[in-house]
A = this chain, B = another copy of it.
Amino acid sequence: MNETLSSSGETVKQTLTKRYQRVREMTLWLCKPLLIEDYGLQAEAAVSPPKWHLAHTTWFFETFVLKKYDTKYSVYHPEFEFLFNSYYQGVGPQYLRPNRGLLSRPTLEQVEEYRQIVDESMLRLLENCDASEISALVELGINHEQQHQELLLTDIKYSFSFNPLFPVYADFPLASKYESVPSLRWQAFEQSLFRQGFSGQGFHFDNETPAHEVVVQPFQMANRLITNQEFLLFIEDGGYSNPLLWLSDGWQVVQQYNWSAPLYWRCIDGQWFEYTLHGLSALIDELPVTHVSYYEADAFARWAGKMLPTEAQWEFAQFTVKNRQHHLLLHTAEPVFHPQAANLSDSLSQLLGSCWEWTHSAYLPYPGYRPLPGAVGEYNGKFMCNQMVLKGGSCVTPRDHIRTSYRNFFYPKDRWQFSGIRLVE
């Protein structure tokens, strides 16, 4: 590859290297509030312990880059290929997912050393290699690590929530006063033939392509997310005990798990609280309701006489309004790890960086979709069944990781992500 210069005068390799370092450091920075005891927590199979995230993201670079392209690299530990493989059958068998919390060894110190050694090797490789060979994989690894930064936070929140001491991740309380949020308004969009998916330059996942034309029917989209106050009305109206509001599968889940509120809401002596990464907080009316499943989002929409958007509608709206304002505050001096209230001035607010927004669309391949070649082909493609698409990123999605065509996907009953509700009609 030529030493292509980017607009800032850096070579591509320099840019990539800086980005690699920044993202790898960010992961460690996010771990700072944790104590050694926290690094092993895994409250259920779907979440992973912080230490495992640290090791697995490192494993990704070791497995897909160093082992393949760095002839001098010698494997850090022969068992790590097995221990920190998440789900790549093409690489080999994997340690049982529900048992990740049982790996007290390797210790945190060893995992940190593992990170350091892999980082040193990666930086050496980046300096000496032909970037064209590995830059796509390195970029994939960086984006992969950014996904795990978000998971690291949502997973630790989930595991902490089982502790009656309500551990605090971010050591200052949420603001308790908020300006009142704008009332719900509806922005109209006409029928159109829209080019959905990723087109253009820059990194994107395989599942965002190929871009392709779809017909979008006319619709109106709400100007903001549903608030805690609005969701409380649903609860008080008996929403969780009226089967007519729910999808059949959703109603089964409600009964099986005795759901009666969003995941982190707690009713204590008749008053509602919400467990947040900033500790237990009285429920704040103005903030968007979050940590709801698709079933709850869908039931709320039915109760309100509205619908959830399709993926194409959401993408079309976001594309149209060019609303690229982003609430993500991770890089500010005092980042807030919770979605913030809607801004009074926005036409369509909270589209990016507030809550992942459940869409009415199943996670399926776009026409002509092809997974990446090799074992990384398992990254996205094999999950295209039984899950729903979410759009827009959340308050804990890294700022430079999100884009309009990004397709996140979770099972309809999942609630541990910062997932919220946007309505259409």
Contact = CB atoms under 8 A, between A and B. Distances in A.
Contacts of A172: none
A385 B162 contact: no
A167 B38 CA distance: 20
Contact of A35 (B102, B107, B295, B361): B107
Nearest to A369: B307
A215 B244 contact: no
Interface residues of A, number: 64
A37 B83 contact: no
A133 interface: no
Contact of A215 (B40, B79, B89, B214): B214
A43 interface: yes
A254 to B, nearest CB: 12
A367 B102 CA distance: 44
A176 B168 CA distance: 50
Contacts of A310: 367
A162 B99 contact: yes
Contact of A82 (B37, B43, B164, B368): B164
B368 A360 contact: no
A213 interface: yes
A234 interface: no
A233 interface: no
A95 interface: yes
B38 A104 contact: yes
Contacts of A214: 214-215
A384 interface: yes
Interface in A353-383: 360-362, 364-365, 367-368, 378, 382-383
Contact of A217 (B167, B215, B251, B367): B367
Interface in A123-166: 159-160, 162-165
A285 to B, nearest CB: 29
A295 B378 CA distance: 16
A182 interface: no
A193 B215 contact: yes
Given A38-B105, A79-B165, A385-B412, 12 more contacts: A37-B51, A40-B40, A40-B41, A40-B104, A99-B162, A104-B163, A213-B215, A217-B367, A248-B383, A295-B385, A360-B365, A386-B412
Interface of A: 35-41, 43, 51, 79, 82-83, 87, 89-90, 95, 99, 101-108, 159-160, 162-165, 167, 193, 212-215, 217, 243-244, 246-251, 294-295, 298, 310, 360-362, 364-365, 367-368, 378, 382-386, 412
